[in-house]
Amino acid sequence: MNQAPAIELRALRKTYKKGRELVHAVNGLDLVVGRGEVFGLLGPNGAGKTTTVEICEGLTAPDAGEVRILGKEWGTGADDDIRARIGVCLQETKFQEHATVEEVLKLFRSCFDDGRTVDDALALVSLQEKRSARQKSLSGGQRQRLAVATALLGDPKLLFLDEPTTGLDPQSRRQLWQVVRDYQSQGGTVLLTTHYMDEAHQLCDRVAIVDRGEVIALGSPAELIRSLGAQHFVVVDLVDADAAPDDASFLSISDVSAVERRDARVECTVASVHTALPAVLEMLERRGVEIDGLSTRHATLEDVFVHLTGRHLREGGAA
């Protein structure tokens, strides 16, 4: 099919002035999101995710670069056309305080010439019982699902979700994931931002790891993790942090390629658990170091981020 990609961004730049300082919120970013993909922007606070998404939505004008949404550009007379075909869920929206769920949906539905019925949208996010509840009486998760429902009303081809699950409990998060999967299975494209690694891993076909306004890694979650080489970790909790052997003792084990410590916890990056684990235990045993706990885990997208930047996702990026 001769269809333009859902999103095309080329050499995108956006700089804000903060007092006398310049903040490069988006710093030469390239991205192509294909139709039918669930694409994740993953990055720490201040990485430029929201800025990128809002440029795509036509809310923010870029300083430089090209933006093509469903093959069309903002500001070339196609704005209303684009708006009729996208659905947007901002990072934070306060709907009118006294409006009921149904009323909010009716209001947003009124401006689309074609689209879903309010009942359909309610069913998609399972908010039927809350139909006549006012904003005040909704939980955070219900509010978020309502915001997503408003985005689905126009039956959009492309859905933007900016941190749709931040602050939600695990059950609400899973409910929202299901909404996204259902939407995708009907042919929709999604661009979502998140700083939850597991969310990106579970939900996204591809992710772009964004830091300081640039894409520093791009690919499917599995590809990105595989690119680390070592895919496993042996995590040892010691009884006494001071009694821990130095890094060299761990690295002398041939399977261990890196060591990281936090208090009494030592994390060894290993190629294969079944050979590294006995060796680590044997080394500790030999030195008489007491062990409080032991676990192993797979590498995650977080490890990819740490590997690329030397920082954790939650530490904040634009420092």
Partner 1 sequence: MRWRVVKAVARQCFLEFWRSPQAVFWTYGFPIMMAVVLGFAFQSGQAEPVTIGVVDNKVTRANLAKLEDEPLLVVDWLSPADADRALGRGRVALTVRWSARDDREVLRSDPSRPEAMLARLLVERRLRQASGGEVAYVPPAHEVEDRPGSRYIDFLIPGLIGLNLLGAGMWGVGFNLVQMRVGNLLRRIFVTPMKRSEFLAGYLLGRSVLVIPEAFVIMAFGVLLWGVPFRGSLLAALTLIVVGGWVFTAIGCLLACRARTTETIGGLMNAVQLPMWILGGTFFANEGLEGPMRWAAEVMPLTHVNRALRDVMLEPGTLLDVWVPVVALAVTGVACFSLAMRLFRWQ
Ligand X SMILES: Nc1ncnc2c1ncn2[C@@H]1O[C@H](COP(=O)(O)OP(=O)(O)OP(=O)(O)O)[C@@H](O)[C@H]1O
Using CB under 6 A as the criterion, what x/- string covers residues 52-91 for binding ligand X?
---------------------------------------x
Residue 314 is a binding residue for ligand X (CB under 6 A): no
String of b and e for 34-53 (b: at least 16 CB within 10 Å)?
ebbbbbbbbbbebbbbbbbb
Question: Please, is 258 exposed, middle or buried when counting C-beta atoms within 10 Å of its C-beta (0-12, 13-18, 19+)?
Answer: middle
Binder of partner 1 out of 41, 69, 88, 207 (CB under 8 A): 88
Long-range contacts from 14-21, C-beta under 8 angstroms, 24+ separation: 14/48, 14/51, 14/55, 14/60, 14/62, 14/63, 14/213, 15/63
Q: Does 94 bind partner 1 (CB under 8 A)?
A: yes
Site pattern 10..29 for ligand X (x: CB under 6 A): ------x-x----x-x----
Residue type, 203: L
Measure the N-to-C terminal CA separation of the chain; round to a whole number of Å: 44
Smaller CB separation from ligand X, 53 or 304: 53
Give the interface segment with partner 1, choosing from 10-18, 62-70, 92-100, 280-288 (CB under 8 A).
Answer: 92-100
Position of minimal CB gap to ligand X: 50
Rounded to the nearest 5°, which phi and psi values hold at 67?
-130, 125
Three-state secondary structure call for residue 97:
coil
- Pick one of 66, 92, 223, 285: the residue that binds partner 1 (CB under 8 A): 92
Residues in touch with Mg ion (CB under 5 A): 49-50, 91
Residues in touch with partner 1 (CB under 8 A): 57-59, 80, 83-84, 86, 88, 90, 92-99, 103, 106-108, 110-113, 150, 154
